[in-house]
Amino acid sequence: MTLLHFINCSLLGYAPYIIVFKYSGLNEYTNIWMPIQAGVIYFLFQFIKLMIMATFFPDNTSNFLIVPIDISKSITDIFDLVGIYLLIIHFFIGKPEVRCLSVGLGWSFAHSFANYFPSFILDARRISFDYKYIYSAIQKMILWA
């Protein structure tokens, strides 16, 4: 039963990306490598963001809100915008609609894969697979998409 729930959650969470790629007409203008490259660039920019946050910002172990540190940590989200801009403008060629759709599809798939798939893998190895993972897959596709 655990394997069935794992497959159910994985299909619920990641099959819509395949459906969007296949039936939006994106596969007529480009191949699968544009969204894959966007996903790889996503992981690269997340690594850069991680290194910058680990190097320059102190760890706030207290329960108090320190506004300058929290604002500067939020400013590192600009690296996501820089990565998307570089992908759309400089790395990909073709129609602007195709570039935007392929970058958005690859970026969102990589984001959901990095944030939700490890919890599916690590928690599916337990004896009982809980329905909170199905809820997590639905939440990822509906609430955060």
- pLDDT tens per residue, range 50-108: 898 888 877 766 767 777 777 877 888 888 888 889 888 888 777 888 888 889 999 99
- What's the rounded Cα separation, in Å, for the pair 87 and 77? 16
Tokens matching residue 41: 């660039």
pLDDT digits (tens, 9 = 90+) for 28-46: 888 888 889 899 999 999 9
Long-range contacts (CB closer than 8 Å, 24 or more residues apart) made by 52-57 = 52/76, 52/79
What integer pLDDT is reported at residue 127 of this predicted model?
62
This prediction has a pTM of: 0.77
| Residue 131 predicted with pLDDT over 70 | yes
| Residue 110 predicted with pLDDT over 60 | yes
Q: How far is CA 122 from CA 6, 41, 72, 118, 119, in A?
A: 11, 25, 32, 6, 5
Contact 22, 132 (CB under 8 A): no
